Amino acid sequence: MGKIRVLIIDDSALIRKILTEVLSSSPDIEVVGAAADPLIAREMIKQLNPDVLTLDIEMPHMDGITFLSNLMRLRPTPVVMISTLTEHGAEATLNALALGAVDFIAKPKVDVVNTLNEYAEEIISKVIVAAQAKVGGVHDRMIKPKSSVVTTPEISEKHSVDVILKPTSTKTHIGPTNKIIALGASTGGTEAIKAVVKGFPADTPPILITQHLPAAFSESFVRHIDLATDMSACIPKHGQTVEPGNIYLSPGDRHMLVIREGGKYIIHLSDGLPVNRHKPAVDVLFRSVSQCAGANAIGVLLTGMGADGAVGMKEMHDAGAKTVIQDEQSSVVWGMPGAAFKLGCTDYMVSLEEIANKVLSLVKPGSVAKVN
């Protein structure tokens, strides 16, 4: 397999330079060009036929969203968006993901040089994964058959879930309580989550979601979730009681755990170390649910790069929970669900379109997902 051919589209000469240096440091990537605006990029795409684009959102002559929309209609190509850590940047990025962008890189408003260099390995990983993703609508994207579980360069400082929540040394009997649903996702997850929750009626048991997102994106994403479903979605406060009919999204800079007090589930937020290089991490949520809910829980793992959530899903499965993963064909990246599948801890593997019905059948036999 040859090198991944990347075209950088950004109006900032500094960003073009940094991204070129970062991506060129990988033996798997060749930066074939850099364009200062979409009109120049349009011609370069025809000439260079790149495998992946990095695309800035705010540019002269044509904004990144308009360019992306035209690109996906005329010449679908894997795209990694470059966005700012602002509310406007978050909203634009979520719209880009809805149009078919594979992933995004968030740049701060200050100290851009050091930040991008600090996250060089993550940037390289995202481009490598994007090159393996077919693009189109969320229902059409899939990983090419040559790679089932996606592997990416190893990034340093990988802590296990033990730094946040220790495993229980003995198996604790957990009596019946109300059902609770724990869901994790990463790359491709923002659209996959909306596709799942839109099928849930207002009286669905509570859903706790950990999606890998920066803190600046949380408020925008929870609004998107809330608009997509008859349930109510929020970013929870520490100590908040979990209630049916509600969706709780982990804040982008905290791990979300759930504990049991009597017959109630209570949300705890932790500002501890990243787990599997993520904060929030899916493994943290899943382990906490395995310890407090046992067989009363359903674990769901959607599309995502890496393996976060696989260990936690096994712990949920071992504690008696039913577990559901998104299948390879409908996943943007079959990393996280694929890792869980390899651990042998999945009860059901279904397409994205079937997940809502499968989950409802487990929590409320006879229930059928809404069709919008």
Catalytic residue set: 186, 212, 308
E strands in the chain: 4-9, 29-35, 52-56, 79-84, 103-107, 180-185, 207-211, 232-234, 246-249, 255-261, 264-270, 297-301, 322-326, 348-350
Question: Which secondary-structure segment (H or E) carries 130?
Answer: helix 120-131
- Measured in whole angstroms, the distance separating CA 313 from the mean position of its chain's CA atoms is 16
Q: Comparing C-alpha atoms, which of 150, 128, 132, 149 is closest to residue 141? A: 132
Task: Classify 160 in phi/psi space as left (phi over 0), alpha (psi -120 to 50) or beta.
Answer: beta
Report CA Rg, the chain: 20
How far apart are the two ends of the chain, measured CA to CA in Å? 42
- Angle subtended by helix axes 189-197 and 215-228, to nearest 10: 30
User: Residue type at 209?
Assistant: I
Q: Distance (Å, rounded) from C-alpha 299 to C-alpha 296?
A: 10
- The phi, psi pair for 37, rounded to 5°, reads -155, 165
Q: Comparing C-alpha atoms, which of 60, 62, 57 is closest to residue 92? A: 57
Q: Are 289 and 299 spatial neighbours (Cβ–Cβ below 8 Å)?
A: yes
Question: Which secondary-structure segment (H or E) carries 222?
Answer: helix 215-228
Q: Is 84 helix (H, G, I), strand (E, B) or coil?
A: strand
What are the beta bridge partners of residue 325? 301, 349
Q: Are 254 and 279 spatial neighbours (Cβ–Cβ below 8 Å)?
A: yes
Q: Are 248 and 224 spatial neighbours (Cβ–Cβ below 8 Å)?
A: no
